[in-house]
Structure 1
């Protein structure tokens, strides 16, 4: 009797589908499956087609998918946030992201080096699942990617020719002297920062990465370079040049977005991964391990950890 009932249901479903020639393939497949296994509708518990579901252990389908396939992370060569050394991913952004992803049960984390300006395009083009270089959360970027919650905060720095012959101690000093040129990494927030205080576009030279900005100043093609304080200070130390110096008394710009809050970023439609990541990140921040990861990667917990009241939503809205 049960076999007969199933056969009748199958026949009825087939007839209905044949009558609805405009139905797409996905709908047809769903109808066929329901006809063969009537119990499946109950097991779905009313979930709508395409809706992200969770297993009994609370893990989303998206996370389970990445547990099996691994995750592809795009990062920029910007020490100490994310960089490659001896074929290994290092940096505070990489360390935090890897810790969080491992806690999600994702052990296969594959990193790809990219120019900073190519991170967001690579993410939106599905080249990466996540981008992480402690990228500053900004209102403009929030329109193109979905940031995770903030992981670190940082300020700005300035490098000039040895002896600082042009007496540059702030972005305002650059704005006040139209002959000064400043080299800045392509896509970096500092391009907007210097313009906010009056630096003309003609004074700005864009370069693909931090080493290229230092080279521009060292060779005399630019008078100064700026970037996040820790990044350019460490880059200068690694370069070992006696032609350049870090401006120790640099005056931090009073512009929206400074200090910056860095975070991993996800595609706009990848809510399941972002929410799972945020959950584990919040747990990590509540442990001593978070402070260890910062300090192991040249960051002071006191200076660089994010205050509890600072959220991605607030930063995107310009509240911080």
Structure 2
């Protein structure tokens, strides 16, 4: 009886150890076996967005190219609000986030970021004529009457606070179209987001009631410029390593620069220098 009990305990222990050690490997193998990956994204053009039922954008195109190198050709997508992406990733709703999400030390505690794929600055949209003369985050901080609409979970929330903007001045909205609508309706005096996203949203609005601030001064805060990357569950280290290896090859042969240019980015301004790494950004060195 004792021998039988000992054998049972040993068998369960081996099975538990095997399960713990194989979960990461099985994720990559599962994707390759099925030939399909599920991507989580937020509608934020030109990083990731849906158009006529098709998932598009610079971050999406890069992810598709990387996964194709890994033998995963089919892509499914799930749309969430930006602030829900990491929690959705950790809940297993999808395999990877490709939303041009900026790598930040606090985010690195909850998600495993791939190596940076793009770099970008910030932008500001105000009411036509810029009646409050807003050209920087400091201008917003210096006028407590100003309300600025910002997408929930976006890095701009921290940038504004770091620049001295009172949290009570920040109107939280679910997405970029809502932030544009807030300014257009007068609920907010300004909105801020990454430069290309905001400029595209401004142009898409097609209204003379708004103005894109060409003289906007980039904030002197940690995290600017921002470095966007795909993000994975912290447990998926093998998948992350495989993604990074394939990404490095696509950077080296010019594919990443080409995909950025095809989506309106500049290869000169938005390609990430080789010395910028996710490890350095997560550690707060950059």
Distance 1:99 1:17 in 2: 54
Distance 2:10 2:143 in 1: 64
The reply on whether 1:174 has 2:140 as its aligned counterpart is: yes
Per-residue deviation, 1:22 = 6.8
* Structure 2 gaps, min length 5: none
- What is aligned with 1:23? 9
* Partner-residue secondary structure (3-state), 1:93: helix
- Structure with bigger RCO (C-alpha 8 Å, 6+ apart): 2
Alignment RMSD, CA only?
A: 2.0
Larger radius of gyration: 1
- What is aligned with 2:122? 156
Per-residue deviation, 1:173 = 0.1
Contact 1:17 1:28 in 2 (8 A): no
Instruction: Label 1:143 to 1:17 Cα distance change in 2 as closer, same or farther (>3 A).
Output: farther
Contact 1:116 1:208 in 2 (8 A): yes
After TM superposition, the structure 1 = structure 2 runs for residues 293-312 of structure 1, keeping only pairs within 5 Å, are 293-312=259-278
* Partner-residue secondary structure (3-state), 2:9: coil
Figure out how many residues of one structure are paired with residues of the other and give that number: 285
- What is aligned with 1:89? 55
Distance 1:24 1:242 in 2: 73
Distance 1:112 1:17 in 2: 51
1:256 to 222, 234, 241: 222
After TM superposition, the structure 1 = structure 2 runs for residues 138-217 of structure 1, keeping only pairs within 5 Å, are 138-217=104-183
- What is aligned with 1:34? none
Contact 1:156 1:227 in 2 (8 A): yes
- What is aligned with 1:42? none
Contact 1:183 1:205 in 2 (8 A): yes
Q: What TM-score, normalized by structure 1, do the two folds share? A: 0.85
* Structure 1 gaps, min length 5: 1-14, 31-46, 55-59
Contact 1:182 1:203 in 2 (8 A): yes
The reply on whether 1:51 has 2:14 as its aligned counterpart is: no
Per-residue deviation, 1:267 = 0.6
Between 104-113 and 61-70, the greater mean CA deviation after superposition: 61-70
